[in-house]
Structure 1
Amino acid sequence: WGEFALDHGAFGAQCSNPAMSIIGAEDEDFENDLNDVSEYKNLLKDRPTHLLVFMQHVFLQFDPAPLLCYLHADLFRTLSAKETKKQFVEFYNTFLDKGAILKVTVPPSVSNELDRNRPDLLSEETQRRYAQEVQSMQASEVAKQLEDFRQKRMMGMTPNEAELNDVESHYPTDRIPMEMKEKSVAENLLDKMKVGRSESARVDRHSTRRRGSSRSKQSRSRSDVDLQPPLTTTSPAPLTPSPQLEEMDPRLLEFEHDPPNWRELACPEALSCLSKKEIKRQEVINELFATEHAHVRMLSVLQMVFSKPLEREELLTSTELATIFPSLDEIHEMHYNFYENLKKLRLEDNFIVKSISTTVLNRFGGTEGEWFQKLTARFCSHQTWALDQIKSRQKKEPRFNSFIQEAESKPQCRRLQLKDIIPIEMQRVTKYPLLLENIAKNTEDLAEKEKIKQSAECCRKILNHVNDEVKEMENLLNLKDYQRRLDTSGLKPSTELYAEYKNIDLTLKKMLYEGPLTWKVTKEKAIEVQCVLLGDLLVLLQKQDDKMVLKCQSKSNIAVQEGKQMLSPIIKLDSVFLREVATDRKAFYVIFTWDSGAQIYELVAQSVGERTIWTNVIKSAVDDLKKSGAPMRLPLPLGAGGVPLSPST
């Protein structure tokens, strides 16, 4: 049920006061209305972590059938008619049938009707009504369970209190709002509890799998040990170390346990002395530390679950690994050292960090920052190519595919696939500037604040450089794909550019921009093209099946000798001028001048904004050619009165 709720967003609504403890002793509204089960619906159900902890409490202390029935009945409010028919039969078999595993008390009127009629033959409206009546019957028992849970929590006797505190103490940020935090902690808690989508923990502990998922069917029968409170604040450690973890450097084993929140470790007296702004600052510093911890962990997974075994099993050579995971070991070591430095700061003054500026500036500034930028850019720029290579090998090589699937199923991956793990370095680089800016924003000391701002600026420069490298590599990969599919048979031998471009290699050029345009050859003739802007050329490619065709176009239906009126699909930028099209805001003219005259191309973008982008990037490319000293051709030919020649000239 937790999985269903998370997948469908049923329990993801954020409360108006994120810091409010939904079931804390100080919550008077909740306490006064506790016996009304609508409080559960309005508050507890909207907090997935609290709901899961409450469910676990019920599994351990009570008969879970009334609560699970209540939850299941809630589904019918949002189901379609077809889904209602299917779900009601499941609902009947699980909770209402005389031999049901989770038999609940059923209203006599509903019971009598179900004795006379098959549940699958009832109308959808009747099924919904029966589900609501059965749900109402469970309300009083659920309210009693809520009251017991509230009292046990007041006495500190509830499992997973750490998860609840982690959520309640979270300071929402733009990057991690409360809703995201709720969902993340709940998903990790759900992994630990191993609750199947359609079964209770109690049923699962007795190996009853009437409607379990394939994942729960394959799991071992669970004991009460599985449902003990976690050692960490969010994600649990695996029950037993896997071979991959045993192979790890011992210093990395700690990363299977998420670090406690700073509030749990700091001295209560020191906490009480902190200002509201300082508490926010410490929250963001803790977020930087916790997320760096998580990042080092995932880099370790990339190393120990994928990279090293792939080499050991001889599925990839060391050269191939160095291309797919470039500088992985160095990147891991770099992040590990940064994490260790942050860890030392936490330990220096009872987990309340006084100064962080020197540590972050040393990491992201100077020669260390340059090294970080170089390694990260190398790794991130290869990620698209790496993902394509892995996907291709999985299709072609069954043994490689089996290895990847088995590796992805290991608990260390936490349900992530390799395609989700490879981009983590790029994702991490994007987070640093925001985290550091938030720390600076809540820092009172001006010198400290300035150094943190400087670190954030260093991070932003690194991010921009990495983005440029990634884009450049993606462009190269696209050019290689275009080159592979290129067909130059449409270039006319009689055209001036034929000899120069019949054997053109696009991969030797630098791509600046690309996108779809409409090439209006005449008023009656328009061609959809993929326009590729290179450093010195504008190339108009036509898609034909799997080919990208370079084809000259004629402005006349009559065959023209010597191709004098043929428009080439390749335009040299060193002789290009741009003009607007007065009758169409999405269109622009590209005028290509040469010794014997001019050719005018009318290109139409998909929007006014896209037309602006195209004209800007083409003008920029032409300006760069001028600066590089490339010779420009004849000036734009003008007609009478100094008006530029029209396309029909």
Structure 2
Amino acid sequence: FSRCRSLVQRRPCFSRLGSFERETKEKDKKVTSGHVFGVGSAFLAPTTACRRCPGDTPASRRRPPAVFQRVSPSATSLGKPPLHLYSVLRPPGGTPPLTCWLSTSSSAFDDVPLKGVKFLSYSTDSLNKTGKVNESTESLTDEGTEMMDSQLMGEFEVDAKELEANSWSFSVDKKFLKQVKKDVIKRQDVIYELIQTEMHHVRTLRIMWNVYSKGLQKEVQLEAQAVERLFPMLDDLLDIHTHFFSSILDRKREAQQKGKDGGFVIHKIGDVLFNHFSGSNADRMKRVYGKFCSRYNEAVNFYKELHSKDKRLQAFIKKKMSSSIVRRLGICECILLVTQRITKYPVLLQRILQHTKGEIWLERDHKEVAEALQLVKEVVTTVDSKVNEHEKKHRLKEVHSRMDSKSIMRMKSSQMFAREDLLHGRKLLHDGPLQLKNSVGRLKDVQALLLSDVVVFLQEKDQKYVFASLDQRSTVISLQKLIVREVANEEKGLFLITAGKKPEMLEVYASSKEERNTWMQLIQEAMNSM
């Protein structure tokens, strides 16, 4: 009885504790973004309901356990927020105010103060919106890319099915093959090889255009100018070879329609070849391939630079390389294949010409194939000269950038020659290491530049180029009135003699007799062209 009496006397303490809890609950009502909860706070009590939000019940706010998914490399490497991370914060089936459903117990939120719930709600809502936008954009991009790839793959398969045989000999019936002469078989095999390899070339160009060029602009957000640096003149290349492939493929189809006994023979191909490598078509090929091939090194270096810095590009390339349509054909490989293609035509046409004989009906075709062969050789020679010219121009700029800006040389005509004069209307014709012999017989290593009107000798000083010094003689020599002679009993040496009232002579040595002869020939040609 005494113990019960003491408990009754202590009851006011419980009453004071209850008033403290009521005050705490009233405070909680004021800090939960305007929501009034009957019991406890929204942040701590998972079973309470907001009296102001219609339809807000403990069941509607009960969130299933968070499921953490593995973050895909493509999402993070492209710089896009991984969408599945938001599923931990976002309830399924709508986005009610965060404070109405964030009450689900989570150890990650146990220590967050109630005052931060309002700001957390705003920030998460923005993440939800961003996630929805990225999710929809990403899905649309993937769907569009898949549709384009499947369409392109379908077109490739149509052409590949028509040319699936390894050679013409395997595409015709064996009985028909026994009736055909050996020279005709070899000719048909080479023509078939020309058509088949042209198909592969067009496929490479279409991968560059449809997959890489478009994809880099849409998915990686590269500017059109950057893509042009990677694939110069790509539109023209694709147009040229699409028409050529269509022409030679039509010739094959015409022969198949006229064929019999399970086989066919392409009687005439020279006119198609002649038309493709002559006139305006030839001029266009020279211009387009001249620019594309001369920019090869720049394009490859530019791609490597972009790939090392841009994570979106890295992820894009990784995704495309696993595609069945690309077949692990990277950008650098595509560029190299295109530059090599033009050098294949002379070989193929020479082989066709070699086996275009022995029949009367082949005489006219022999003439047209021979003319086409000469035309394609001219195209290749012109492209090669354009590539060489571009490389020389780039090399001269490189030397100019390494020149000491204060270095200057007085020519024999008393004209001053400075660093900027290297680029002043001059072209680099040839360059390489040589040696100059001084008055005491010692050889000095120099870098020689043969320009369109002068020969310049440079030496390295403090990792920069300066004009070479040689017994107070000028090392910038004009090609006007220049005499070039061999050094007696020295197969590697030559004299450069400047004529005039006071003639000067430089004794120059190359690394070999062949190199000396090359310098002498090029200097003589430059003098004659002035």
CA–CA separation in structure 2 for the residues paired with 1:455 and 1:492: 51
Deviation at 1:572, TM superposition (A): 1.6
Aligned partner of residue 509 in structure 1, secondary structure: coil
The alpha-carbon deviation at position 368 of structure 1 amounts to: 2.3
1:540 to 416, 436, 457: 457
Distance 1:540 1:390 in 2: 35
* Aligned partner of residue 217 in structure 2, secondary structure: helix
Residues 580, 589 of structure 1: 8 Å contact kept:
yes
Contact kept in structure 1, 2:407 and 2:467, CA below 8 Å: yes
Identity, % of aligned pairs? Answer: 27
CA-CA distance at 1:303 after TM superposition: 1.6
Q: How far does residue 284 in structure 1 lie from its aligned partner after superposition?
A: 0.7
Equivalent residues in 2 for 1:456-467, closer than 5 Å: 456-467=373-384
Q: Which residue of 2 aligns with 1:172?
A: none
Equivalenced residues, count: 373
Q: Pick closer, same or farther for the CA change 1:527–1:245 going to 2, 3 Å.
A: farther
TM-score computed with the length of structure 2 as normaliser: 0.64
Q: Does 1:509 align with 2:426?
A: yes
Deviations 1:532-579 (A, max 9, x none): 2111121222244642x1224132xxxxxxxxxx22332221232111
Among 247, 260, 267, the residue aligned to 1:354: 267
For residues 378 and 354 of structure 2, the distance between their equivalents in structure 1, rounded to whole angstroms, comes to 19
Of the three residues 500, 506, 512, the one matched with 1:607 is 512
Q: Which residue of 2 aligns with 1:624?
A: 529
Deviations 1:203-235 (Å, cap 9, x if unpaired)? Answer: xxxxxxxxxxxxxxxxxxxxxxxxxxxxxxxxx
Question: Equivalents in 1 of 2:488, 2:328: separation in Å?
Answer: 56
Verify the 8 A CA contact 1:245 1:253 in the aligned structure 2. Answer: no
Structural mapping, 1:74-89, within 5 Å: none
Task: Find out whether 1:248 has 2:165 as its counterpart.
Answer: no
1:591 corresponds to 2:497: yes
Any gaps of 5 or more consecutive residues in structure 2?
A: 1-144, 257-263
**Greater shift in the superposed pair: 520-529 or 572-581:** 520-529
Question: What is the rounded CA distance, in whole Å, between the counterparts of 1:250 and 1:277 in structure 2?
Answer: 36
* Residue 485, structure 1, aligned to residue 402, structure 2: yes
Question: What is the DSSP-based 3-state SS (H/G/I as helix, E as strand, rest coil) of the residue aligned with 2:432?
Answer: strand
- Distance in 2 (alpha carbons) for counterparts of 1:593 and 1:613: 22
Task: Look at both structures and tell me which one has the larger radius of gyration over its CA atoms.
Answer: 2
Q: In the aligned structure 2, how far is the partner of 1:585 from the partner of 1:541? A: 23
The whole-number CA distance in structure 1 between the counterparts of 2:156 and 2:175 is 33
Unaligned runs of 5+ in 1: 1-240, 556-565, 626-649
TM-score, normalised on structure 1?
A: 0.53
Closer, same or farther in 2 for the Cα pair 1:415/1:314, shift >3 Å? closer
1:392 and 2:305 correspond: yes
**1:436 paired residue among 349, 358, 373:** 349
Distance 1:405 1:520 in 2: 57
State the shift of 1:391 in Å.
2.8
Contact 1:385 1:477 in 2 (8 A): no
Give the whole-Å Cα distance in 1 for the aligned partners of 2:497 and 2:315: 56
The 5 A counterparts of 1:116-515 are: 245-246=149-150, 248=152, 251-252=155-156, 254=158, 259-260=164-165, 261-313=167-219, 315-350=221-256, 351-404=264-317, 406-408=319-321, 410-444=323-357, 445-491=362-408, 499-506=416-423, 508-515=425-432
Check whether the contact 1:519–1:528 (CA below 8 A) recurs between aligned residues: yes
Match for residue 525 of structure 1?
A: 442
Checking the alignment, whether the CA contact within 8 Å between 2:494 and 2:509 is kept in structure 1 is yes
Deviates more, 1:582-591 or 1:373-382: 373-382
Mapped to 1, the partners of 2:439 and 2:334 lie a distance apart of 50
- Quote the Cα distance in structure 2 between the aligned partners of 1:540 and 1:413: 50
Equivalent-residue separation in structure 1 for 2:310 and 2:366 (angstroms): 54
Distance 1:489 1:515, change over 3 A: same
Give the secondary-structure state (helix, strand or coil) at the position aligned to 1:430.
Answer: coil
CA distance in 1, matches of 2:346, 2:389: 22
